[in-house]
Amino acid sequence: MLESLESLLTKSLQINHAKQIHALILTNAFRHLQPQLLQLILKTHPYNVQTTTHYIKNIIKYSDNNLDTFSITSTIRFFSKNNNFKHSIKLYAQLHYLGLVPSSFAISSALKCCAKVLDDGVGVLIHTHVFKYGFCDCVYVQTSLVDFYAKLGSMDIARKVFDEMRVKNVVSWNSVLAGYVKCGEIEVAQKVFDEMPERDVVSWNSMVLGYGKVGNMDQAEVLFRLMPQRNAASWNVMISGYANSGLVELARRLFDEMPYKNGVSYVTMITSYSKQGDVEAARKIFAEVKEKGLILYNAMIACYVQNGLPNVAVSLFNKMCQPDVSIQPDKMTLASIISACSLLGDKELVASIESYLSKMAIDIDDHLTTSLVDLYAKSGNIDKAYELFHCLQKKDLVAYTAMILGCGINGRENDAIRLFSEMIDAGVSPNLATFTGTLTAYNHLGMVDNGWRCFMTMQEFGLVPSIDHYAIMVDLLGRAGRLKEAHDLIKSMPMKPHAGVWGALLLGCSLHNHLEFGEVAAKHCMELEPDSTGYCTLLANIYASTGRWADAEKLRKLVRKSVFTKAPGSSWIG
DNA sequence: GTAGGGTTAG
């Protein structure tokens, strides 16, 4: 029986056989055959990826560590191919733990995964194995090392490994080239490109990408026209290059011109239009695609969320989950949907997302955690937000900003300010949103001087205050009665103040009964928003409290009159 | 080995 099962295992490539044998082996008696079982499953693919993953995990779990290098390597490659990089890395660690000698395949696959998830710990460990097990002349292993360090941004090490390679192929050259492109060193990349003994379409694409990255689309275009052959990636890097330079029309022209569009092309166009705020153009592209995949849906959903249409995003999400479409959302989808929930304040949807996360065993990474931090903070559960915030592997700009804003709207201004200085100490650079949150906190606390100092540090971070930052500062100064400073700040603004800025000054004036600036501010407000009566009322209050009763009454009459004449649709007079 | 999707404000 045992013998026949073993020979069956090696011979059986039929899917139905594979399933039967699988069932048999799981009945305990044949545990020792699990390495072969793994091979069988990986060779025949009797299940879909999800089920296969599930079984493989179980087989490994119950294998009593009797797996061999070959089965583990195949499994590492299976996980890697299905974007399950963390599992690949874990398995490589297990291989090492079992005292098995890794193959060149295991090493290069595991390094690839480390590069994908930027796991420098395991990656560097694998580098020591390369020496230990003597893979110094294996071009695949060495190239994976170059690629790993290049992706990590450690170009000096990548270069060192590359220079020491005795045998190099075009992929090795492309790896260093892509590394220099990635960190924006286009001159060095150009030098590498010139030195290359052989170039293929990937080399050319990297150069086109590199020039696009540094904003030199002219040179990118020159290379694009010059390259001996193009593939879809060539067109796509040009499209995203133009899109990232804000030249969406040129991107679109190439998109229309390209002979064979693929999924990436559509997604690139949708994302470009999304960044431009042109939701309708993005939606048209989306509608054009016949076979819609997960990434396309993700791009469209993100577009809706980012452009203030969370409800549309949620309905598209619901559509993709329906049986006739039946696309499994992943953590990217969920990050956008959580953001939508946060904007909508939809408690029911939040509950269903939470159960989905646990049911589908979604890998909750820092990105996803950050969107949850924002969600809980915005919905008032600041303790839970804090808890998740502390669970983050790496607290980045977005996480700090979400937390600072969250504290601000939950009355924890002191926490917001503390988090701000914590983030600066941690070497994380704030952006405009961070300052919005922090300045708002100072504003609520009425801490004028600290707020002012904070405002002044914006330029140290290379930031130009937006109109809203000015509005917060005017509000802060105005409430504190420092009306001249507020007025001076408005006059110094490089952009035209909107009604919110003047309104903040007017509010300050009404709190402190300051007529001179109050009249100036009110005049601007009424010019900018002639339909709004609130400004008249504020000015009338100033008149009244400074004893100018006649002016006050005149304005109030005006207000009453306009209430009766304006906006008939919303008026009870009808 | 090159190209595409996610999180923070308004």
Q: Which CATH class is domain A466-574?
A: mainly alpha
pLDDT at A96: 92
Structure-block tokens of residue A350: 């939040």
Protein residue closest to B3, using CA and C1': A233
Q: Are A312 and A304 in contact, with CB atoms under 8 Å apart?
A: yes
Give the span between the Cα atoms of A147 and A158, in whole angstroms: 7
Name the helix (H) or strand (E) containing A123: helix A120-132
Mark residues 179-238 of chain A whose C-beta is closer than 7 A to nucleic acid strand B: 200-203, 205-206, 209, 231-234, 236-237
Give the span between the Cα atoms of A213 and A179, in whole angstroms: 13
pLDDT at A227: 96
pLDDT at A2: 53
Give the span between the Cα atoms of A524 and A499, in whole angstroms: 7
Q: Residue A119 CB closer than 7 angstroms to strand B?
A: no
Q: Residue A371 CB closer than 7 angstroms to strand B?
A: yes
Q: Are A505 and A473 in contact, with CB atoms under 8 Å apart?
A: no
List of chain A residues with pLDDT < 50? 567-574
Q: How far is CA A231 from CA A179, A252, A306, A428, in A?
A: 21, 18, 31, 39
Distance of CA A450 to the CA centre of its chain: 32
pLDDT at A22: 74
pLDDT at A571: 35
Number of other CB atoms surrounding residue A502 within 10 Å: 26
pLDDT tens-digit map of A150-205: 999 999 999 999 999 999 999 999 999 999 999 999 999 999 999 999 999 999 99
pLDDT at A185: 95
pLDDT at A513: 95
pLDDT at A102: 95
pLDDT at A568: 44
Backbone phi, psi, residue A515, to 5°: -75, -45
Structure-block tokens of residue A125: 């460990």
Q: What are the boundaries of each domain within chain A?
A: 466-574
pLDDT at A570: 39
Q: Smallest Cα–Cα separation from A108: which of A86, A84, A127, A131? A: A127
Residues near A82 by beta carbon (within 8 Å), at least 6 away in sequence: A49, A53
Q: Residue A551 CB closer than 7 angstroms to strand B?
A: no
Structure-block tokens of residue A121: 């710990």
Protein residue closest to B10, using CA and C1': A468
**CA to C1' distance (Å), from A313 to B3:** 26
